[in-house]
Structure 1
Amino acid sequence: MRKLTFLIFSAMVMWHGVVAQPEKQKQVLHIIPEPVSTTVLKGSFLLKPNTRIVVSGKDVSGVASLLTQMLNAPTGYQLATTVSKGGQEGNAIVLRINSSHNAALGEEGYTLQVLPKQVVVAANKPQGLFYGIQTLMQLLPPVIGSHTVVKDTPWKIPCVNITDHPRFGWRGLMLDVSRHFFSKAFVKQYIDEIARYKFNVFHWHLSDDQGWRIEIKGLPELTTTGAWRVPRSGKWWSFAPPQPGEKATAGGYYTQEDIREVVAYAKERFVTIVPEIDVPAHCLALIASYPELSCTQQKYDVNPGSRFLKKEINNVLCVANDSTWLILDKVFTQLAALFPGEYIHVGGDEAHKSFWETCPKDLALAKKLGVTIQGGLQPYFEKKMHQLIVSKGKKMMGWDEILHDGLPTDIAVMSWRGMNPGINAAKQKHPVVMSPWGQAYLDLYQGDPLIEPNTYGMLRLKTCYDFNPLPDSVDPKYILGGQGNLWTESVPNERQVAYMTWPRSLALAEVFWSPAGKNNWPDFIRRVEQQFKYMDAAQVKYARSMYDPIIDVAKGNNDSLNVTLASEIPGVDVYYAFDGTNPDNFYPRYTGTPLDIPKGASEIRVITYRGQQPIGQQINCPLSLLQQKLDKKIKREMQQKSK
């Protein structure tokens, strides 16, 4: 019997030509997000012009078509797709639906086996196959991302065994198209990019004070007025308001046919679109279109990015106005028909209630309900919105401000003001998506503000990577997953969207997909650097901020100024100069001890090197800025002590 077993094994090795290797895959593979289990084998599979894509099982043809599209463009091949006839398929990539359900894989998991003569991607569902081919693409040379034919490239795939499935079911990214409008073609491209890293939710922020972006039949003013504002360029919130007679020519909107096209495109890539119409606040574009919906019923302009006081310009809907609910019913009826996903996001954040306090209708409603304007009118609004959404056959989701006692528990809460609102919502048995601004807001700075495009706050790559959407204190069944959010006040064009998205969304992709406890920061950075090569080939812009030096300030004796330097990633040296010259690797290297300021110095210049090569941007930092930073630190410390 042992002899027979040995002969069978020997025959398998001869046909497949592989044996398992020790745990060295970390230095061979660069997959993001990190799979659950990976074993590197000897050998490789060579993709050839006559390689076949073989399908086995129901509903596989769509995934096969996407795979051939991705492979044909850079290789110049015309790979054929055939139906499996059973048995061994040589020189083939086999996409197979499991004949018996593999419970460990669930609906989105897959197995991937690459052997010298055959590649097999197997899954319980087509979406699992889709994620399997995304991993397969990362095993090919980086130029596989090219949109044009790359000649003289051996398309080798290393032999591996991979078993993989996601940690969370909700793996989302949000794009705000209200503050700046982005074309339908770009939105589809963005969906391609996020699907490549196994995100499965695209949250589409379609309305705000600065623009209404979706056609609603029977409400033409939303797109003739609400979708347009006067053109401005520069620093957001500094723009002059519309001037008398100035034409509103900046903006745009998606027709319902556009929406259907994007929804279908996303569905093919197993991405669910969650539309957001933000109410009752952030409604200035809606109110500019239909002034009767506000408490003042005054005519306002769509905001072009000017700072405005909410006590002077009303961007909040009148809750007690019948017209409000007639229009909302029409909007959400059409929204529900256009988007097949189970959730509709209704916003609910940052509702300034001062106009309700002076509105006779809202005051009368609050008195009738026996509630205060400040504490009770928004909960009433949210419960009524819930009834409206449910009547359309959908589930309601909103930002964490919607959370109030007595809110129906089927309403999902997206926690943005830190983790605590999400924890509280989960303890009240609400479904929760964790999206805290300090770990998941992609519109924040990702490097030193001295050299980054203007925005606010700070969110470095490592902070994203250290994010854990599942607190120990809650029942995991209430945490749907996590999401990164890209608000676009300071993101005026499509290239900047990509710059702010990558690589921080690579970190979020791994947080949302890979098993808990498997994070490895140095290895993640190694894999990120390989992914940059794929992005280069695909002409996707990304930030290199992780290479730049970090300049901070420490308190010396008698509150004096000391400078501290650091690198965000391992294996990088930091060099500096106080004398006004540009440092290189022959200058003093920072060793970890806070630096005293030489007399007369007014600036520190800092640069990072890896070995003998500069790797980050040079930062020239006035010491006066560091002094201001230290003063703020000291002030915060004193305030904390006084408490």
Structure 2
Amino acid sequence: MKRCRFTVLLLMLVFGLSLTAMSQNDRFDPASLHVTWELLDNHHQQSNSYLSSLTLINNGDQTLPAEGWSLYMNNLAGEDRTSNFYIERVNGDLNRLYPTAFFEGLEPGDSVSVRVISPGSVLNISGAPIGLYWVWDSNTEEGLPIGSYKVKPVNDPDVLNRGPQDQVPVATPEVVFERNKDIPNLNEADLPKVFPTPVEYSTFNGTFALNSDVIIDYLPEFENEARYLSGEMARILGDSLAMSTDSRGGQGRKILLRRAETEPEGYRLSIRPRTVTISASDSAGIFYGIQSLKTAIPPEAWTADQPSVAVPAMEVSDHPRFGFRAFMQDVSRNFRSKEQILKTLDLMSLYKLNVFHFHFNDDEGWRIEIPGLPELTEVGSRRAHTLTNEEHLQPSHGSGPNSNYPGSGYYTTEDFIEILEYATERHIRVIPEIETPGHARAAIKSMDARYRRLMEQGQVEEAPRYLLRDLRDRSEYRSVQGWDDNVIDVSLPSTYRFLGKVIDELQAMYKEAGAPLDRIHMGGDEVPNGVWELSPSVIRFVRDNPEVESVGGLWSYFFKRVNNMLKERGLSLYGWEEIGMKEALWGGESHHVADTAFAKEDVQVDVWNNVMGSGAEDLAYRLANAGYKVVLSGVSNFYFDLAYVKAFPEPGLYWGGFNSLDKPFSFIPYNYYKNAKTDLLGRPLAADHFNDMVRLSEEGRENIVGIQSLLWAEKLINDERQEYMLTPKLLAMAERAWAPKPEWAEGDWSSENENQYNEAWSQFLNSAAKRELPRLDNYAGGFAYRIPTPGAVVQDSMVHANVQMPGFVIRYTTDGSEPTAESTKYTEPFALPEETVVKMRVFNHAGRAGRPITIE
């Protein structure tokens, strides 16, 4: 009997295993799922919403089941109008799509479309869903890649229209042609050989033969600069130049590094057939003289090792307009490797920028190793599929289900020290930003993980030492980026222990690197309504501290305390514009005004909100007049993550408008109202729009310390995209930050100013196209800068074309194929044959092409 039972059990076990194997083999494979997304309407039913279609196609041999699965993705929030699927927000920009009871599954070869109505608008490919992956309900801890995903192009410009109020034109070939029509092709020999534009510049007959026989003769105080120059010349000549401090030695050709009385960071550069002399009163001036010497060298010299390079004779006397010339790099939303950061520092130094604002932490990632707080990088630097965010953070910005670059990554202490040393050698100050109290989700989740680890180890007293939230807090809020758990609790003593620990460790790294650190950026932007209101710690704190009258008073309390923490360490406070604001009532209405008391504390602010037409355009001037040190960081001119133009294939954000190359170039720092013409939606600004806005006082003018360009990383999906968004816009920003006030910015804006501006703009474009961008093809390994699309119109059956960058080549085909470097070169208008598709692309001097256009 026992044997019989055993046999039956054995048969049942074998049969069950075979059924399991069969069910596993028959299970739908997510790798056979193909998904497409298409934008259908940007002004759906005359509302501020858009309609799109997400189509699921079963390319496999098994049925896609009617239930038991979810499709996760970033960037698609809204409601499915087909009733087949639910779409719910997980957190941040992560959403989950899963079937309703109405969905019947999908047979092999079949497809189903999800019609989604979402708030807002999508104007280019960066607004499409991204980072799609599959999760089974039976194994919710594992995210699986799908087979493929494609965004369908939008060929109808009307689809990109946001309604009657939207007057920003789509950058069709015709629109681009009109924008380019007045750009002349200037003779390269007539272009300045130094960039950015120096204060004084003159040329002479003759050249200096730069080869490996040249000696760098330097004063001992300029040894670091001499060593740098020797290494830079090795990039051109293949060998570094010999260095000497014996000014009497030899009669050969020399580069002399000498002392002279100049403005701070200023220099004099003299290039003669036998001698190059760079003189300055400080080492920074010598360094910038070296950069000018490098831009005087013909750009093709960086293509390959040269036996000798002829450098034209000239005299330059120069100094910067602003002492604070900054670039901010966000590495939290998408990480950039150490090597990419060093490459960016090379670019900055070439164009004489001297501040690297390092945005290393935010909601989506913490990127610098902090000794003693390992969870910051073990948890806070990694993104992958998770339902708990306990071991790592959830996917954001298309990072997908696995911990891959650029969603994940961090700098070790050794990496960061190397970055600091590299920047310091190039006279670039690195200012770290510790985002507080909002935008802090990565830090919060990391310190939660530390708490859990120590509690499991029985270290009950140590566990909460660096907690950044009250574990009993039930406050409800939603940040601008969609997070409901990203704000530090500023009532907790542990918050200040955490900040003190991080600041101390950063200071130690700066000290080891020999890098200057006088300010730390402490964030301070975009704290949403609703935070702290249901925190027991906050409620108790407000009750026990009469000077904090309400939850709203915690903002000022926090930054006053942080300011004191920094001062105790010999540092000054730096932050976003919000740290200089307070709430006030005028006529019964709430307004944000400058907090004048805080301005006396040597606080520096980045003012980003100059969105034209918003009514807040004067904020930078109000804060400067109130006594704050202001860095002009306006979204309308210097947010380089904004798309260049309105066109569906063009990547980048657009919430603050579009940031074409002319936006940073045309900026007038002390009166940017002067040449502002349109608002966020392209509508002409009223003649009296700026009449009641604050102007800079004389004292306020002194408080404008500089200009900053910024590159947020939500859409920087790889290093090439970073370089595309950064260049050539950085050249235009460098011109405004360094060069003297241009003639076209003088006086009230008139037709004469317009003509002067157009001349300067044309010279800048010619210099960029014929000297600086060809240099960047190879400099520091080469940069994937944006190559513009051609402009084109059809007139009397003839195709006319032009290009923004004179000297770049337009090539075309008439058979519908993509133009290559061997395709026909456009030299003059040509006939458009009937029923022919013409495709055109712009090629740079190295043969790399931009995005193609089609003419039918």
The TM-score range, normalised by the shorter chain, is 0.7 to 0.9
Give me the whole-angstrom Cα distance separating, in 2, the residues matched to 1:316 and 1:118.
59
Q: Which amino acid aligns with 2:421?
A: A
Aligned pairs for 1:296-315 (under 5 A) are 296=471, 309-310=482-483, 313-315=484-486
The reply on whether 1:93 has 2:285 as its aligned counterpart is: no
Give me the whole-angstrom Cα distance separating, in 2, the residues matched to 1:374 and 1:467.
39
**Partner of residue 192, structure 2:** 29
Give me the whole-angstrom Cα distance separating, in 2, the residues matched to 1:407 and 1:185.
39
Give me the whole-angstrom Cα distance separating, in 2, the residues matched to 1:575 and 1:47.
36
Q: What is the DSSP-based 3-state SS (H/G/I as helix, E as strand, rest coil) of the residue aligned with 1:267?
A: helix
**Partner of residue 554, structure 1:** none
**Partner of residue 140, structure 1:** 297
Q: What is the DSSP-based 3-state SS (H/G/I as helix, E as strand, rest coil) of the residue aligned with 1:485?
A: strand
Q: Which amino acid aligns with 2:563?
A: H
Preserved contact between residue 842 and residue 851 of structure 2 (Cα < 8 Å): no
Give me the whole-angstrom Cα distance separating, in 1, the residues matched to 2:429 and 2:284.
12
CA positional deviation for 1:84: 3.8
**Partner of residue 696, structure 2:** 473
Preserved contact between residue 323 and residue 706 of structure 2 (Cα < 8 Å): yes
CA positional deviation for 1:279: 0.4
**Partner of residue 524, structure 1:** 764
**Partner of residue 67, structure 1:** 229
The reply on whether 1:437 has 2:635 as its aligned counterpart is: yes
**Partner of residue 534, structure 1:** 775
CA positional deviation for 1:90: 4.2
**1:294 maps to which of 469, 482, 490:** 469
**Partner of residue 171, structure 1:** 325
CA positional deviation for 1:446: 1.5
**Partner of residue 608, structure 2:** 416
Q: Which range moved further: 321-330 or 443-452?
A: 443-452
The reply on whether 1:183 has 2:307 as its aligned counterpart is: no
**Partner of residue 555, structure 2:** 378
CA positional deviation for 1:221: 1.2
**Partner of residue 738, structure 2:** 513
> What's the CA shift string for 1:240-289, capped at 9, x where partnerless?
997xxx77995222222222221121111100000001000111101111
CA positional deviation for 1:356: 1.0
CA positional deviation for 1:566: 9.5
CA positional deviation for 1:449: 3.1
Preserved contact between residue 599 and residue 626 of structure 2 (Cα < 8 Å): no
Q: Which amino acid aligns with 1:95?
A: L
Give me the whole-angstrom Cα distance separating, in 1, the residues matched to 2:720 and 2:542.
47
Q: Which amino acid aligns with 2:576?
A: W
Aligned pairs for 1:390-401 (under 5 A) are 390-401=567-578
Aligned pairs for 1:546-625 (under 5 A) are 546-549=788-791, 586=829, 617-620=851-854
The reply on whether 1:503 has 2:728 as its aligned counterpart is: yes
Preserved contact between residue 314 and residue 355 of structure 1 (Cα < 8 Å): no
Preserved contact between residue 36 and residue 514 of structure 1 (Cα < 8 Å): yes
Give me the whole-angstrom Cα distance separating, in 2, the residues matched to 1:241 and 1:351.
27
The reply on whether 1:275 has 2:432 as its aligned counterpart is: yes
Preserved contact between residue 787 and residue 842 of structure 2 (Cα < 8 Å): no
CA positional deviation for 1:168: 0.2
Give me the whole-angstrom Cα distance separating, in 1, the residues matched to 2:278 and 2:535.
62
Preserved contact between residue 67 and residue 133 of structure 1 (Cα < 8 Å): yes
**1:461 maps to which of 661, 678, 684:** 661
**2:528 maps to which of 352, 355, 361:** 352
CA positional deviation for 1:239: 4.7
CA positional deviation for 1:468: 2.4
Q: Which range moved further: 68-77 or 342-351?
A: 68-77
> What's the CA shift string for 1:151-200, capped at 9, x where partnerless?
4x540010001101000000010111111222222212211111011000
CA positional deviation for 1:459: 0.3
> What's the CA shift string for 1:577-611, capped at 9, x where partnerless?
xxx9999764699xxxxxxxxxxx9xx9996889x
CA positional deviation for 1:49: 2.6
Preserved contact between residue 547 and residue 615 of structure 1 (Cα < 8 Å): no
Give me the whole-angstrom Cα distance separating, in 1, the residues matched to 2:711 and 2:607.
15
Give me the whole-angstrom Cα distance separating, in 1, the residues matched to 2:411 and 2:472.
27
Q: What is the DSSP-based 3-state SS (H/G/I as helix, E as strand, rest coil) of the residue aligned with 2:263?
A: coil
Q: Which amino acid aligns with 1:124?
A: S
**1:544 maps to which of 765, 774, 786:** 786
Preserved contact between residue 365 and residue 380 of structure 2 (Cα < 8 Å): yes
Q: What is the DSSP-based 3-state SS (H/G/I as helix, E as strand, rest coil) of the residue aligned with 2:217?
A: strand
The reply on whether 1:216 has 2:370 as its aligned counterpart is: yes
**Partner of residue 592, structure 2:** none
Preserved contact between residue 599 and residue 627 of structure 2 (Cα < 8 Å): no
Q: What is the DSSP-based 3-state SS (H/G/I as helix, E as strand, rest coil) of the residue aligned with 2:778?
A: helix
> What's the CA shift string for 1:489-546, capped at 9, x where partnerless?
1102222222211110000001000001157111111110111111112242243344
> What's the CA shift string for 1:342-368, capped at 9, x where partnerless?
110001111124131222322343453
Q: What is the DSSP-based 3-state SS (H/G/I as helix, E as strand, rest coil) of the residue aligned with 1:467?
A: coil
Give me the whole-angstrom Cα distance separating, in 2, the residues matched to 1:492 and 1:619.
23
**Partner of residue 257, structure 1:** 414
For structure 2, the 5+ residue unaligned runs are 1-186, 387-394, 449-466, 511-515, 582-594, 611-616, 672-694, 744-756, 794-800, 820-825
Give me the whole-angstrom Cα distance separating, in 1, the residues matched to 2:848 and 2:721.
24
CA positional deviation for 1:46: 0.7
Q: Which amino acid aligns with 2:604?
A: A
**Partner of residue 15, structure 1:** none
Alpha carbons of 1:545 and 1:464: their partners in 2 closer, same or farther (altered >3 Å)? farther
TM-score, normalization by structure 1: 0.77
CA positional deviation for 1:127: 0.9
Give me the whole-angstrom Cα distance separating, in 1, the residues matched to 2:398 and 2:318.
49
Give me the whole-angstrom Cα distance separating, in 2, the residues matched to 1:62 and 1:468.
35
**Partner of residue 464, structure 2:** none
Whichever of the two has the greater Rg, that structure is: 2
Give me the whole-angstrom Cα distance separating, in 2, the residues matched to 1:170 and 1:187.
20
Give me the whole-angstrom Cα distance separating, in 2, the residues matched to 1:248 and 1:25.
45
**1:44 maps to which of 201, 207, 226:** 207
Give me the whole-angstrom Cα distance separating, in 2, the residues matched to 1:76 and 1:196.
19
CA positional deviation for 1:462: 0.5
Preserved contact between residue 608 and residue 614 of structure 1 (Cα < 8 Å): no
Alpha carbons of 1:493 and 1:239: their partners in 2 closer, same or farther (altered >3 Å)? closer
> What's the CA shift string for 1:189-240, capped at 9, x where partnerless?
21111101100001111101111111222212112111111179xxx96659
For structure 1, the 5+ residue unaligned runs are 1-23, 300-305, 552-564, 590-600, 623-643
**Partner of residue 316, structure 1:** 487
Alpha carbons of 1:614 and 1:198: their partners in 2 closer, same or farther (altered >3 Å)? closer
Preserved contact between residue 575 and residue 587 of structure 1 (Cα < 8 Å): no
CA positional deviation for 1:550: 9.5
Q: What is the DSSP-based 3-state SS (H/G/I as helix, E as strand, rest coil) of the residue aligned with 1:157?
A: strand
Give me the whole-angstrom Cα distance separating, in 1, the residues matched to 2:850 and 2:339.
33
> What's the CA shift string for 1:368-404, capped at 9, x where partnerless?
3465656422122111111111111111100011113
CA positional deviation for 1:63: 0.7
CA positional deviation for 1:453: 2.8
Preserved contact between residue 434 and residue 483 of structure 1 (Cα < 8 Å): yes
Give me the whole-angstrom Cα distance separating, in 2, the residues matched to 1:502 and 1:614.
15
Alpha carbons of 1:32 and 1:588: their partners in 2 closer, same or farther (altered >3 Å)? farther
**Partner of residue 713, structure 2:** 488
Preserved contact between residue 468 and residue 494 of structure 2 (Cα < 8 Å): yes
